[in-house]
Amino acid sequence: GAVVSQHPSRVICKSGTSVKIECRSLDFQATTMFWYRQFPKQSLMLMATSNEGSKATYEQGVEKDKFLINHASLTLSTLTVTSAHPEDSSFYICSKRDSLTDTQYFGPGTRLTVL
């Protein structure tokens, strides 16, 4: 299947700091990438759709000024959690979409812990 990497895999930060998570497509170019959040024992919740060269589309209830998304190239999208608080602690997962099959391929995830 398609290959997606995320960095870092795990990060611990202090409350009030900002954290950047990178999502890379290692095989084919991805004009569209997605960012999800997953809380323990729960399913994936879409946060935003990242479009290369344009602004991200955020889901209802997701603060765009808090979760900054940049998709500057066809292989890289970044999610920056600004002024992180303990309630932002979660598992963040990115995905890319194969436009031929509509299938999304997911990265390994980033575990964020805010102290």
Phi and psi for 3 in degrees, rounded to 5?
A: -115, 125
Q: How far apart are CA 39 and CA 15, in angstroms?
A: 18
**Amino acid letter at 66?**
K
| Residue 43 near residue 102 (C-beta atoms within 8 A) | no
- Give the nearest distance from C-beta 35 to other proteins in angstroms: 11
- Give the nearest distance from C-beta 19 to other proteins in angstroms: 18
Of how many residues is the chain composed? Answer: 115
Between residues 75 and 95, which has the closer beta carbon with respect to other proteins?
95
- Which DSSP state fits 81? E
- Site of interaction with other proteins (CB under 8 A): 1-2, 4, 6, 32, 34, 42-46, 49, 57, 91, 93, 95, 97, 101-109, 111
Between residues 84 and 105, which has the closer beta carbon with respect to other proteins?
105
- Give the nearest distance from C-beta 18 to other proteins in angstroms: 23
